[in-house]
Structure 1
């Protein structure tokens, strides 16, 4: 039997920042640990010691590396699209290496494609929530994501992230 599961540090930090900028946000579509549908396939929502996780590592911690964030942030002037753009911008600029991909409203941004937007062809377009999946190398990394910048108007976006001709150094 697999040991009890735990969230990785980046998810804990991201939830903490979300509570600071959007304390009254809807959490109906929030999720970390996989339901039965997730448990029947490979998913970042499955703990890595279960044998059904998207990625594993060498430690014996039973970690969950995926986080669904309800799209209703309940903050005037702040949308999930803005939050996703901020995270993608950080990845493109090489400031964020913990994330592997983000899915929202039928679009996927992934490290493996240089964080360019592509149509997501999966069965769930993730319209009600954004799905974030992380790399095992970032499990213990609880550094801030800089979400406060969304409220200050200084958020990183794909259009203002400094892009060089080389691929960003995010994990793939």
Structure 2
């Protein structure tokens, strides 16, 4: 079986004109007379057909195994994540809040949003929320952040050491 020369093949030309349509679909279109002027000799369908564009587009990406430590938890309130966003000094809220803190539970995907006047207020929100969740009987195993200065303090470290 010989491979088809891309320049000399009417099948390749029609394959490209029809948006890289597969060969069996082109043959069906020709047999049913769907497209006028589509006359490809039968011997072209018997040859091995290779389109480099189609081959490269269908390549599989390399698989990356997810490590066990990055696996998403399914237990609610087991892992909390927090970040602080700056809405800018030019867009303060009506009450003068320049920042907001977003805390998300990884298990339920539930989110809490707290408006902040300064980043220093984030620590109090975090401690209050965690205290409420612990009082409701939830056990927080992990709290993660981007290691911003608002979360690197002894008060939060002491609280986390006592409760988890």
TM-score, normalised relative to structure 1? 0.24
Higher radius of gyration, 1 or 2? 2
User: As a proportion of its length, which structure holds more helix?
Assistant: 2
RCO comparison, higher one (Cα < 8 Å, 6+) = 1
- Calculate the TM-score normalised by the size of structure 2: 0.25
